[in-house]
Amino acid sequence: MSSTEKIVSRHATSDGIVVWSRCACGRLRMTLIPYDPSPCGQERRLTAGGRCPECG
């Protein structure tokens, strides 16, 4: 995770852990971390909004 982001809140849903983080520029971002492990052992994350256009 980028050091420019600060965790705003995190809470459990039926699909996984939802983490809200705020970028250094003020953009709010939601990341879903699913409970089920991926076959390859890597952590899967779904991030809404994609990369920050301001901070990369």
Residue 32 in contact with Zn ion, rule: CB under 5 A:
no
CB of 20 to Zn ion, least distance (A): 14
Residue 25 in contact with Zn ion, rule: CB under 5 A:
yes
Distance CA 27, CA 49 (A): 9
Residue 1 in contact with Zn ion, rule: CB under 5 A:
no
Instruction: State the pairing for strand pair 28-34/6-12.
Output: unpaired
Residue 15 in contact with Zn ion, rule: CB under 5 A:
no
Residue 8 in contact with Zn ion, rule: CB under 5 A:
no
